[in-house]
Structure 1
């Protein structure tokens, strides 16, 4: 069973030092960019074709584009794989400089719908248990550690928010609190490192939430054979849940639960939650049992 967006009890939350509080307003705005460009070239990435490289995913690339335009983040985006010159991010998690190159199998961002949230709370110099929040990712990508993005999201959800819209970071020497686990799941712990990715500010957001039990598409419950077949042209449970929510008109998935069993199911033909829905059956399917969707 997987849980995203875990919240701590109020007693623990009360121990977390919160700074930079801003009162939220009541509405969000949206703007769609067709063939979004940076430095004169359309944006893209070679992810997921080169999953181990120092590159950002399409999701992180779309979000970074939106935040660079002054928006809160990316509500949705469309992609196509083709040969092209393109501008991409040198770095994981949407953090790094933009650069231009060319490749034969590029995941091109064809359109991005950005949102500007009026329900934001920004924390400057965020701390947990008296220490600033950080991580040694991406310097140690194979360790049992969370990325900066997952750490920011965990910080926000621990304080009762729906998630993290954006964050700023610097690499420096510091003692810090980090998540001992991947995906933002695990206990907070303390350490020190000479090259820690320190979260200098985190902007959290509120949302309206809608729960779906045994979510279905085309009459069958949704699922995926990921992660059992990690190299296949299939979407992860997280991408499948997010796509389901977006298809219902929501912004994304706050959390979901799963169970592995034999079943007929509807899945996405494609990675990253992009592609048509199809129905099949398998003996070891990661079935999506429930999803909590969010609307900004």
Structure 2
């Protein structure tokens, strides 16, 4: 099992505002080292941006300028209690606002679960701002029923038994973070929720658009790396394979399980480094260019 935090790179915490709402992010690397090779990594639902710290450090050590961000309602960003503040399209707008704030013309964008879906939304909202897509276990058509079963109890508990959420959060804060592994800290921070904002976030996503429809996904020309997990009832490998087949310039990699990138990250991290190098190594390729081989969802060995 690997819990190594990754190579040492420069890190800086920043913030930006959308209206009155404050969002926080971390930069890894520097403009002098990473130049314009921007990568934006987005967390899973209810999880903090720190989940991507190990990958961000490796990518930064390979000459990229990496940013992890807490979307609204997550991590150290503001957590409003209005469900109308939460949607996939609103999250995509937040990522575009982050790019504007950073002065990044384009970036490789994506993340895990929620982050993968947000990456797809950014590609639809602002296709000229996306250099490539990193999509780990997207949640699409095949996972609707499992998603309802997983998140409906959270919404019910936060609305009608908020003391449970408050108690779990208080308990998580009692555990000293300095004694926990990286993923232990991520779990503890994920458990540190407030009932009102948590219910609003789940409600907003639960009743909104989960991802761009298939007919729209098929029009996306961006190079993409799609990672799927067998045996995951919510993040079905069928969804990952489906989006890899739909995207004209996607490669599909199958993880051994949802735990591989958490506990034995070397193989998938190396694939990601290679993908990002390939995307940026082609120069300033724009959507519609055909510099990268179109592999149409082929499974890489």
TM-score after normalising by structure 2? 0.26
The answer to which structure has the higher helix fraction is: 2
> More strand by proportion, 1 or 2?
1
